[in-house]
Amino acid sequence: MKNRSKAYTRHQRERIIQRKWAILKDALQREGESMPVRGTLSKGKVHCSCRMCCYEQYHGIPKSKHKAQWAAMQKEIDD
């Protein structure tokens, strides 16, 4: 692992906190007292099974890598 400065670590932590804060504020419409302490948002990952986070999966839209594999398999079958 590379040696990282404290400034780099602080920047990454703040970036993640801002992202999660925006999700809570804009998507989930939370504000005021219902918002958690900012420092607790630096832990864990942002993923859930709601329709907004898993749009492609919910609506059955294949990802681009699966589309490419499918196209390659179709090309092999045609040849």
pLDDT at 65: 84
| Mean pLDDT along residues 27-55 | 76
Q: How many Cα neighbours within 13 Å face the side chain of 16? A: 13
Token pair for residue 46? 């942002």
* pLDDT over threshold 80, residue 39: yes
78 or 62, which is more confident: 78
Give, in order, the Cα–Cα distances in Å from 69 to each of 12, 37, 59, 77, 79.
Answer: 34, 44, 20, 12, 15
* pLDDT over threshold 80, residue 50: no
Q: Could you tell me the pTM of the whole model? A: 0.55
What are the boundaries of each domain within the chain? 6-78
| Mean pLDDT along residues 30-49 | 78
